[in-house]
A and B are shown apart, each in its own frame.
Chain A
Amino acid sequence: MSDVYILGVDMIKFGRFPDRTVPSLGAEAALLALDDAGLTIQDMEALYCGNLGQSSGMVGQRILQEIGQTGMPVVNCANACATGATAFREAWTSIKAGLYDVVLAVGVEQMGKGLLGGTGAGKGIPKEGLLGSGTMPAVFAEAGMEHARKYGTTFEQFAKISVKNHHHSTMNPKAMYQIETPLEDVMNAEMISYPNSKLMCSVNVDGSAAAVLVSEKKAKELGMERVVKVKASILSSDPYQERDLVMPDVNTCTRKAAKEAYEMAGVGPEDIDLVELHDCFATAEMLHYENLGLCKDGDAGRMIDEGEVALGGRVPVNVSGGLLSKGHPLGATGIANIYEVSTHLRGEAGERQVEGAKLGLTHVIGLGSACGIHILEKVN
């Protein structure tokens, strides 16, 4: 099976674009990634498109109707917040299978404002606020409080994660926000669902990201100068856990995917130079330091306290600003974090560059649940 390389990858600056359409946002990222690869849509053999909000709306085809209807096969996919990573992985799989040598993956989302989730009404009366809460900030607060019960993790430690990611985003011109948020601001912000204050919740934004994936043969033909190698691509679903029905489990599927990804790449967590992980809430990021093996169980609070996960630390996490400050356009997120890691491996991340980065990991969680992990390697 051929190795798979990223030849071109890019994202639009995340923001709020209510006057745009989903296909136009996706088309913009597609053209950026094609330009980065030095190719055109005419060169693509297939398109894998990830979008959640219009998952029955043939978004991939509508992107081609904006930038070039070549007749290539299009696969539209939806997998909650793992949608973008799933589209990327489908593209990777097609090259692995030997079907194609050059394919395009696009992730795109247009979001409203406000709370996501909630306990559906179903029949009868609404259950939200009656049988607990199904809102995303509450669900991830409960997951964070499970960590607190095991290890004594504090509200302040969770809040520090948000301080770190907002600080990182001041160096990322493509992030939604570039605003320093000191600890007291984070802790005193409106409490949404304890222990997640408003500044500890990801930002609902519009955005898109895209990547051109190629086979080794094609990479050698087109030039290896800026390619990034995909060392591992893993997708998992949630294995049975006893509290599944009331407490969506983001831990077990991440641990399973991480183990498989490290095995596929032939590396260990100690080899990873930077990580973009799914900080949909500050409480979630804390869990994934341990789930991804960046530290031993129970050590996540110390990692944030001692700055090991900040830019300049042992293993910087979410130097893009993460979902907390770069923003979280659901279907785009999984490819946007691949853009971020690739940019560091290419040595093109400017002020926020992780010096000497050779190996990076991306992670997303789609609640329900899906976990997508990619391990990327610097080539030149």
Chain B
Amino acid sequence: MPLPVVDYLKLPEDGDPYLEGHKCSSCNSIFIGERSVCSSCSSRDTMETITLGNKGKLYSYSIVFRSFPGIDVPYISAIVDLDDGGTLKGNLIDCDPDPEKIKFDMPVEVVFDDALGRKDAEGNSYISYFFKPVN
């Protein structure tokens, strides 16, 4: 059984993978990752677990040509605002790493797939999330 690449990626046994967020019921700020206090309004015990949407728009990006040894380049590091709230960072796939082809606000969807073949020390494989252009 592959493992989720981050804690906020959920792999239900009887359903599709999804990303989990946390929303402050006092100020509506959305966070990635569990927390008990809101860093926007400082309210305590107002955090509610939500399911993040899987549609969004490209907010900003960089095309990475040099990374650490063993990391395949080039790739697009993308920041995506989800339509239903929340912002994520991840790789934008199925898109040429060419500034002419990458448009701000282009619609993308969140897709789930094997984590580029990366395995941990125990040989476990992982599921990650990626952004893919929607035509």
Contacts and interface: CB of A to CB of B under 8 A. Distances in A.
Say if A and B assemble together.
yes
Contacts of A190: 65-66
B40 interface: yes
Interface residues of A, number: 38
B31 A193 contact: no
A125 B60 contact: no
Contact of A191 (B39, B65, B71, B78): B65
Nearest to B98: A194
B87 A130 contact: no
Nearest to A283: B62
Contact of A125 (B29, B40, B90, B126): B126
Interface string B13-57: 000000000000000011111000001100000000000000000
Given A131-B89, A132-B77, A193 B65 contact: yes
B118 A130 contact: yes
B32 A246 contact: yes
Interface residues of B, number: 45
Given A115-B67, A194-B99, A131 B32 contact: no
B60 A133 contact: no
Contacts of B89: 131-132, 246-247
A246 B87 contact: yes
Contacts, number: 131
Nearest to A132: B77
Contacts of A242: 29-30, 87
A247 B116 CA distance: 23
Contacts of A141: 62
Contacts of B39: 240, 244
Interface string A142-166: 1101101100000100000000000
Nearest to A150: B104
Contact of B60 (A115, A126, A137, A149): A149
B64 interface: yes
B61 A115 contact: no
Contacts of A183: none
Nearest to A239: B40
B74 to A, nearest CB: 8
A165 B89 CA distance: 31
B62 A145 contact: yes
B99 A142 contact: no
A43 to B, nearest CB: 44
B112 interface: no
A138 B63 CA distance: 8
B59 to A, nearest CB: 7
Nearest to A126: B118
Contact of B90 (A132, A195, A243): A132
Interface in A338-369: none
A235 B30 CA distance: 27
Contacts of B31: 245
A127 to B, nearest CB: 7
Contact of A132 (B3, B73, B78, B99): B78
B126 A124 contact: yes
A223 interface: no
Contacts of A137: 62, 66
Contact of A130 (B62, B78, B91): B91
A141 B63 CA distance: 9
A240 B27 CA distance: 12
Interface string A176-203: 0000000000000011111110000000
Contact of B63 (A115, A129, A193): A193
A115 B33 CA distance: 27
Given A142-B60, A193-B62, A245 B33 contact: yes
A243 B81 CA distance: 9
A246 B40 contact: no
A131 B59 contact: no
Nearest to A247: B79
Contacts of A252: none
A143 B116 CA distance: 26
Interface in B99-134: 99, 104-105, 115-116, 118-120, 124, 126, 128-129
Interface of B: 3, 5-6, 29-33, 39-40, 59-68, 71-73, 75, 77-79, 81, 87-91, 99, 104-105, 115-116, 118-120, 124, 126, 128-129
11 contacts: A125-B115, A125-B120, A132-B89, A133-B77, A137-B66, A146-B59, A146-B60, A193-B77, A194-B99, A243-B87, A246-B87
